[in-house]
Homo-oligomer: A and B are copies of this chain.
Amino acid sequence: MESTKQMAVIVQKFGGTSVGNPDKIKAVAQRVMNVAKEGNSMVVVLSAMSGETNKFVELAHAMQEQPDPREFDMLLSTGEQVTIALFAMAVKAAGMDVISLLGDQVKIITDASHTKARIKSIDTELIEKYHKEGKIVVVAGFQGVTPDQHITTLGRGGSDTTAVALAAALKADVCEIFTDVDGVYTTDPNMCKSARKIDKISYDEMLELASLGAKVLDIRSVSFAKRYKVPIHVRSTFTDTEGTRVVEEDELMESLPVSGVTYNKNEARITISKVPDTPGIAAKIFTPISAADIVVDVIIQNTREGGWTDMTFTVPLTDYDQAMGIVEKVCADIGAESFVGDPDIAKISIVGVGMRNHSAIASTMFQVLAKEGINISLISTSEIKVSCVIAEKYTELAVRALHDAFELDKATPTEEH
């Protein structure tokens, strides 16, 4: 009957602050209905109301020091269930048809890694059936179910992953991620007044920015989107302006070599000096650290003359004290001369797919920092990223200087139309 009309399938995801109380849920429902009324098939993915998850975490820890992961998921997954039910009521109250679905009802099948499960498959049959009936479908984010019916959750940023995975399975025209900012910026606007919203960015750049601390989009959902070529649109819950579109690299025309400058103040540096340079020494140092579930980021090894080496690496600031304790023991075991830690560091990074075709981007970065009198204590690079560890107090200065030097305040040719 409606085959003459080309309807789009649109997935929209709203986070916890966007659905934090009944009025906000009503506003989100109105926004979704406006798009539905244009003839689009809507899938809405919601997080728990802000504050709810923390409440559950507190309750769980009141019961058990280390809450049982399966039961933790049973508890946490109720947060999204509440939101989707309330959202559906708001839509019904406004006279449109809607149905709410849980992860197990959709059949979002995951592995059994409770609290950090990975999606294995999604059944689109039920959603497509409800779309044919003209219903808005609202799905609980963050949750799935194992093949034998245990409820799982997807871990941090899980609702983003739910949205992208649904968009991939449904071959949706777009997956819109609504947040409290209006897109991805060239750097932190609070730190640099000339920061500019990026109109289009590649999956790879977004991955680097996400992993480096840009909090608008969860890293797992970006890699999922990249794999299945899901067009993502990161935009504001509170305005109708275009946000940032995350797209395939070949959709980006000519672009500046650097897309963004990012920083991370939540790491600490540890240096072990004068380690006997024997085979397996790195394993001896890092095995006990990873056994303590501490994620080491940058690692640099400098070999000295005379069979000695220095080892420097960064760890999350929250794990710094524990890591220093482990290092103390390790130093005694391996016969290192000394070790020193510094929690007051920042990692400054420049990211851009354009680096692949531009040499000397890294050296430009070093020159810019040198000109400002900022000492670099660690360097690490990837194909589309250069990171430097510096003293934390220079963070703002470094970000602004790099933003200016790479002319990020100027729109690229692609973005002008």
Contact = CB atoms under 8 A, between A and B. Distances in A.
A88 B100 contact: no
A90 interface: yes
A332 to B, nearest CB: 36
A374 to B, nearest CB: 49
A85 B75 contact: yes
Kindly state the interface size class of chain A when it binds its partner: 35 or more
Interface string A44-81: 00000000000010011011110110111011011001
A377 interface: no
B71 A88 contact: yes
B88 A84 contact: no
Contacts of A88: 68, 71, 74
A386 interface: no
This chain: copies in complex: 2
A128 to B, nearest CB: 16
Interface string A142-158: 00000001010000000
A26 interface: yes
A71 B93 contact: no
A351 interface: no
A86 B67 CA distance: 9
Contacts of A105: 149
A100 B74 contact: yes
Contacts of A376: none
Given A22-B59, A149-B105, A64 B78 contact: no
A64 B90 contact: yes
Given A59-B22, A78-B78, A85 B64 contact: no
B92 A62 contact: no
Contacts of A60: 85-86, 89
A86 B100 contact: no
Given A25-B63, A62-B22, A105-B149, A85 B89 contact: no
B104 A89 contact: no
A82 B99 CA distance: 23
Contacts of A26: 63
Interface in A95-112: 99-100, 102, 104-105
Contacts of A25: 63
A86 B56 CA distance: 9
A82 B53 CA distance: 12
Contacts of A102: 74, 151
Interface in A7-43: 22, 25-26
A63 B75 contact: no
Contacts of A67: 89
Given A85-B71, A85-B72, A88-B71, A63 B22 contact: yes
A105 B104 CA distance: 10
A86 B59 contact: yes
B75 A92 contact: no
A75 B82 contact: yes
Chain B CB within 10 A, most for which of A68, A84, A93: A68
Nearest to A49: B59
Contacts of A149: 105
Interface in A272-323: none
A134 to B, nearest CB: 16
Given A64-B90, A68-B88, A78-B81, 20 more contacts: A22-B59, A22-B62, A22-B63, A25-B63, A56-B82, A59-B82, A60-B85, A63-B90, A64-B92, A68-B89, A68-B92, A71-B85, A72-B85, A74-B88, A74-B100, A75-B82, A78-B82, A102-B151, A104-B104, A105-B149
